């Protein structure tokens, strides 16, 4: 059976990969859902001393090995992604960077362009990326929605979800302002308190 590919953005990767390991390239469920990252994530990690400091665990061999494989793309797909990225990036610069002085990064935009061309889901908690995904019709889910999918497909249990959420709170790295409401909606109970 063919895989149902899902691409994970940088923030969601760092929020999930330490506790749900191996996170990437491990098919699960009836539809063989398989998480991938964009090759740019490794470049972004290597170039950022801030990320290396905050997520020092990600430099460990087991996590590096899990990030070795990224999406395999044909020449035609790469060209289409580049073209889609160019349109998206112009929009990001005009609508986000110039108007709001913030917005999706180069890598974030590349991830969404890839998801758009491949017609796959993108996992992100970044509100600007969610807005950009909606603008371009990219199917996007949050880290909590991904964990709900993993739970429904019996890939992880409720204890693992609670462990992840407790770590978010402990590290003061919750996904966005009203994440706890989404948690209640998805899981029918209050999130655990760290």
| Rounded Cα–Cα distance for residues 33 and 147 (Å) | 12
Q: Which helix (H) or strand (E) holds 103?
A: none
- Whose CA is closest to 1, among 25, 33, 23, 24? 33
- Whose CA is closest to 41, among 22, 78, 66? 66
DSSP assignment, residue 102?
-
Token pair belonging to 150:
């993993």
In CATH, the number for domain 4-144 is 3.40.50.1010
- Sheet of 4-8: strand order equals 33-37, 4-8, 121-123, 140-141
pLDDT tens digits in sequence order for the chain, 194 residues long: 689 999 999 999 999 999 999 999 999 999 999 999 998 888 889 999 999 999 999 999 999 999 998 899 999 999 999 999 999 999 999 999 999 999 999 999 999 999 999 999 999 999 999 999 999 999 999 999 999 999 999 999 999 999 999 999 999 998 988 999 999 999 999 999 86
Average pLDDT along the chain: 94
Question: For the segment 116-161, what is each residue's pLDDT rounded down to a tens digit?
Answer: 999 999 999 999 999 999 999 999 999 999 999 999 999 999 999 9
- Whose CA is closest to 31, among 161, 120, 145, 133? 120
Token pair belonging to 152:
């429904």
């Amino acid at each position: 059976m063919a895989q149902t590919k899902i691409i994970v953005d940088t923030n969601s990767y760092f929020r999930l990969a330490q506790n749900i390991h191996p996170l990437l390239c491990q098919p699960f469920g009836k539809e063989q859902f398989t998480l991938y990252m964009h090759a740019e994530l490794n470049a972004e990690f290597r170039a950022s001393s801030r990320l290396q400091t905050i997520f020092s665990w990600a430099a460990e061999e087991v996590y590096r090995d899990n990030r070795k494989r990224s999406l395999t793309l044909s020449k035609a797909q790469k060209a289409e992604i580049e073209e889609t990225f160019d349109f998206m990036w112009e929009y990001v610069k005009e609508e986000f960077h110039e108007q709001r002085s913030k917005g999706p990064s180069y890598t974030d935009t590349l991830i969404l362009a890839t998801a758009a061309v491949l017609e796959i889901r993108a996992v992100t908690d970044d509100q600007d990326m969610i807005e950009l995904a909606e603008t371009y019709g990219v199917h996007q889910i949050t880290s909590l929605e991904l964990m709900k999918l993993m739970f429904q497909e019996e890939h992880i249990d409720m204890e693992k979800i609670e462990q992840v959420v407790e770590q978010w709170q402990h590290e003061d790295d919750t996904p966005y302002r009203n994440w706890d409401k989404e948690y209640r909606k998805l899981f029918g109970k209050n999130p655990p308190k760290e």
